């Protein structure tokens, strides 16, 4: 049986790409330089990742890892805490300027390229699913209104954070996550 | 006194750029082609708009025009209606795929270029100010909670819409605007 050489060079390429992104940001990642530094042909990289952005998505997916669903209980305060944990995690991950830049580039690239689009969508879907799971637990246990549409509430929570990341540039920290969850739960009226 | 020739060619360039954007989308706007079609030197365009994205921002600002602050009254239902008008307007403007694409390119370009960033920020700030004005009227008149932070509520409303535009690709229509405003006002608890 042939040795899976590709897996090995894939890992080296991903590690080099991650280092370039961390050190020099989005513009600092140049596929040809990655190939040279790892000692593989450019075509080896492009066969696995058709564009720079495909490679970036793989790196970010590795950073993100598995998104846990927090579960401290079914009381109203527990649901609020669990939502704050998710929102706080998003604020923490997305606040640094280089990450904001990455997210913006991926959001734009997602629309230029359908194939890349589905890879990018998988990046956000884990945290979205975690939010929905907490909301559904809150509805089932009576902590949240029965007629609630979890999708709209997820849009409010994640939307506010991404709006600051991509549109207003507003700061993101634990205090903001708490204020956001409090306002989403209590309502404006 | 010299005739303000630049104003005239600016208007021609903007009209040609708007037509290109409408017909062929973001990629269809090529600055050199705009200059040729209007009969000016490329440098004339670049002196006024240093990059393609500066030109795109000027076109979008022209399309957007003045954002009115809706004001049907100070009762709770009036505030809800006025917020639904703003959210519905955003959904209507931002739903078409070519516009989503434009917004994504501008959000990414905004981070690459500080100078462009402030021009793009002015694009979103009008609608944001209109939302804040309605919320402050609601707080002052007692329709909304006194301890409300209008900025957080604006993030929830505009954020949910931009999140669908840029991240999830979810659909945006009047029904969504109504559901969103209802959920933001009533709260999830």
Query: Do A120 and A31 sit in the same domain of this protein?
Result: no
Query: Do B109 and B18 sit in the same domain of this protein?
Result: no
Using a CB–CB cutoff of 8 Å, tell me whether A119 touches chain B: no
Q: Which pair of structure tokens corresponds to residue A101?
A: 């830049």
In the predicted structure, residue A1 carries a pLDDT above the cut 60 = no
Maximum average pLDDT range among A22-26, A65-69, B59-63, B146-150:
B146-150
In the predicted structure, residue B3 carries a pLDDT above the cut 60 = no
ipTM metric: 0.89
In the predicted structure, residue B2 carries a pLDDT above the cut 80 = no
pLDDT of residue A114: 83
Between B6 and A150, the higher pLDDT residue: A150
- The verdict on residue B57 lying in a domain is no
Q: Which pair of structure tokens corresponds to residue B116?
A: 């462009």
- Name the residue with tokens 């669990």: A82
* Residue A150 near residue A136 (C-beta atoms within 8 A): yes
Maximum average pLDDT range among A52-61, A135-144, B51-60, B110-119:
A135-144
Query: Do A41 and A70 sit in the same domain of this protein?
Result: no
- The verdict on residue B54 lying in a domain is no
Query: Do B136 and B98 sit in the same domain of this protein?
Result: yes
pLDDT of residue B5: 58
Query: Do A34 and A90 sit in the same domain of this protein?
Result: no
In the predicted structure, residue A137 carries a pLDDT above the cut 90 = yes
pLDDT of residue A162: 97
* Residue B100 near residue B163 (C-beta atoms within 8 A): no
Query: Do A21 and A111 sit in the same domain of this protein?
Result: no
Of A100, A179, A187, nearest to B149 by CB-CB distance is A179
* Residue A170 near residue A76 (C-beta atoms within 8 A): no
Query: Do A39 and A81 sit in the same domain of this protein?
Result: no
Q: Which pair of structure tokens corresponds to residue B10?
A: 């600016």
Which residues constitute the domain of residue A123? 66-186
- CATH at A21: 1.10.10.60
B139-156: pLDDT as tens digits = 999 999 999 999 999 999
- The verdict on residue B107 lying in a domain is yes
- The verdict on residue A58 lying in a domain is no
Average of per-residue pLDDT values in chain B: 92
Query: Do B44 and B71 sit in the same domain of this protein?
Result: no
Question: Mean pLDDT over residues A13-40, rounded?
Answer: 92
pLDDT of residue A78: 97
SS (H, E, C) A17-81: HHHHHHHHHHHHCCHHHHHHHHCCCHHHHHHHCCCHHHHHHHHHHHHHCCCCCCCCCCCHHHHHH
Query: Do B37 and B83 sit in the same domain of this protein?
Result: no
- The verdict on residue B160 lying in a domain is yes
Between B116 and A145, the higher pLDDT residue: A145
Of B156, B130, B153, B138, residue with least CA distance to B78: B138
Question: Mean pLDDT over residues A54-66, rounded?
Answer: 87
Query: Do A80 and A37 sit in the same domain of this protein?
Result: no
Question: Mean pLDDT over residues A16-37, rounded?
Answer: 91
A44-53: pLDDT as tens digits = 999 999 999 9
The b-or-e profile of B94-111 (16+ CB within 10 A means b, else e) is: bbeeebbbbbbbbbbbbb
- CATH at A94: 1.10.357.10
Query: Do B83 and B169 sit in the same domain of this protein?
Result: yes
- The verdict on residue B162 lying in a domain is yes
Query: Across the interface, do B155 and A145 touch by the CB < 8 Å criterion?
Result: no
Worst-scoring range by mean pLDDT, A56-60, A120-124, B14-18, B42-46?
A120-124
Mutation choice for A interface testing from B148, B155, B179, B182 by most A CBs within 10 A:
B155
* Residue A49 near residue A61 (C-beta atoms within 8 A): no
Question: Mean pLDDT over residues B103-130, rounded?
Answer: 88
pLDDT of residue B174: 98
Query: Across the interface, do B107 and A110 touch by the CB < 8 Å criterion?
Result: no
Query: Across the interface, do A155 and B169 touch by the CB < 8 Å criterion?
Result: no
Distances (CA, A) of B21 to A167, B26, B59, B92, B143: 21, 6, 9, 18, 42
Distance CA A71, CA A83 (A): 9
Of B184, B84, B81, residue with least CA distance to A188: B184
* Residue A99 near residue A93 (C-beta atoms within 8 A): yes
Of A162, A185, A189, nearest to B145 by CB-CB distance is A189
Distance CA A34, CA A155 (A): 37
Question: Mean pLDDT over residues A3-15, rounded?
Answer: 81
In the predicted structure, residue B1 carries a pLDDT above the cut 50 = no
Maximum average pLDDT range among A5-19, A150-164, B19-33, B90-104:
A150-164
Query: Across the interface, do B162 and A164 touch by the CB < 8 Å criterion?
Result: no
SS (H, E, C) A96-151: CHHHHHHHHHHHHHHHHCHHHHHHHHHHHHHHHHHHHHHHHHHHHCCCCCCCCCHH
Give B189→chain A minimum CA distance, Å.
Answer: 4
Number of domains in chain A: 2
Query: Do A43 and A134 sit in the same domain of this protein?
Result: no
Q: Which residues of B touch A110 (CB under 8 A)?
A: 104
């Amino acid at each position: 049986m042939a040795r899976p050489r590709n897996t090995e060079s894939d890992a080296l390429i991903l590690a080099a790409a991650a280092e370039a992104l961390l050190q020099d940001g989005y513009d600092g990642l140049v596929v040809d330089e990655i190939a040279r530094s790892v000692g593989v042909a450019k075509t080896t990289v492009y066969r696995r990742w058709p564009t720079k952005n495909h490679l970036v998505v793989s790196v970010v997916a590795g950073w993100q890892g598995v998104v846990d669903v927090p579960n401290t209980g079914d009381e109203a305060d527990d649901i609020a805490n669990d939502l704050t944990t998710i929102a706080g995690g998003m604020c923490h991950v997305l606040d640094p300027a280089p990450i904001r830049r990455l997210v913006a580039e991926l959001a734009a690239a997602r629309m230029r390229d359908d194939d890349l689009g589905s890879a990018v969508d998988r990046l956000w879907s884990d945290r979205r699913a975690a939010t929905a799971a907490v909301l559904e637990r809150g509805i089932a246990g009576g902590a949240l209104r029965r007629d609630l549409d979890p999708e709209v509430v997820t849009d409010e929570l994640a939307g506010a954070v991404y709006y600051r990341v991509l549109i207003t540039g507003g700061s993101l920290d634990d205090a903001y996550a708490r204020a956001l969850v409090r306002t989403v739960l209590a309502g404006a009226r």
